[in-house]
Amino acid sequence: MKETQTDSDEQPETVEPDGADDNAPHWIRKRRRRPLVRRVGGHMETRFSYGVLTLSTFGFEAAALLIVIAVVGPLVLLAQGRFLHAAVFFVVALVCAAVAGAFGFAAGFIGVPFAGDWFLEWPSHVIAWTTGLAGCALLAALVLLTPLPAYLGAVLTVAAVFGAGYTLAYALRVTSGPSTQERTHQKKRQ
């Protein structure tokens, strides 16, 4: 008597590997079909983590730029003979650099525990550092070229950098799949 399978007995779609032996156990003969490339943007937690890590790079870049500004700005003011302005500019720029660096450290402290193996690959760093530099340029434009208050420009920039990092996480890949040449070589070995 032949038994029929019901819908509840169906197994997930599987692929038979090349040269599979019909007498082999089920776990050797069949394997699940999986994509060759897994994207970072697949889960909200990883997108959120990448957005926060992009904010971290933004903070570190802003701190580095403010240190350069803290050195160059007072030199210009000293050349003009404004000694008190140079001293105040130096102190204020260093305090702003310290705040930006602390912000970058705090954001990294929050984001790194949720990062996966994708965090170590170079595309994630390139996108984050480039987005951070764009955020520094946006912050400078909002503070210096618009009538917005400085705090509002900072809030808008933080929101824009986080949103860009969150969205750009969709472009990242955790691991690249094997090349065609590698797959052909693996089939020949089997």
What's the pLDDT tens digit per position in 159-169? 999 999 988 88
Residue 190 domain flag: no
Residue 160 domain flag: yes
Residue 34 domain flag: no
Residue 109 domain flag: yes
Domain membership of residue 58 as a residue range: 42-170
Residue 153 domain flag: yes
Structural domain count, the chain: 1
Average pLDDT over residues 147-174: 88
The stretches of 80-179 forming alpha helices (DSSP H) are 83-111, 122-145, 150-168
pLDDT tens per residue, range 100-148: 999 999 999 988 877 766 666 777 888 889 999 999 999 999 999 999 9
Q: Which is more confident, 45 or 119?
A: 45
Average pLDDT over residues 24-42: 53
Sign of CA dihedral 166, 171, 172, 174: positive
With a threshold of 0.75, does the pTM exceed it? Answer: no
